[in-house]
């Protein structure tokens, strides 16, 4: 199931346990569902950064004032 959401261009996908989607060379699989929580398994090459949204504003290990984004 896939549908476009309004004018944002966002693609909304419904997946069941064990189903995957591919985004380029990145695989995302639903590995567990417990109530309103969903666990996702991500397979990507080491150079692809996979970061949870809530961690985006936190400095990464090794960042200093000189090289922090």
**In a domain? residue 44:** yes
Identify the pLDDT of residue 21. 96
Reported as a pLDDT band with limits 50, 70 and 90, residue 10 is: confident
CA distance linking residue 38 with residue 42, whole number of Å:
13
Q: How many domains does the chain have?
A: 1
**In a domain? residue 22:** yes
Q: What is the pLDDT of residues 17-67, one digit of tens each?
A: 999 999 999 999 999 999 999 999 999 999 999 999 999 887 766 655 554
**In a domain? residue 41:** yes
Tell how far CA 62 is from the center of its chain. 23
- Secondary structure E strands in 1-69: 2-5, 10-13, 20-23, 26-34, 37-43
Q: Which domain holds residue 30?
A: 17-48
Q: What are phi and psi of 7, to 5 degrees?
A: -90, 0
**In a domain? residue 1:** no
Identify the pLDDT of residue 67. 45
Identify the pLDDT of residue 68. 44
């Amino acid at each position: 199931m896939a549908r476009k959401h309004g004018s944002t261009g966002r693609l909304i996908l419904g997946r069941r346990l064990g189903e995957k989607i591919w985004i380029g060379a990145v695989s995302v699989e639903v590995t567990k569902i417990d109530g309103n929580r969903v666990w996702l398994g991500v397979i990507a090459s080491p150079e692809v950064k996979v970061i949870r949204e809530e961690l985006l504003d936190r400095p990464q290990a090794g960042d200093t004032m000189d090289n922090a984004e």
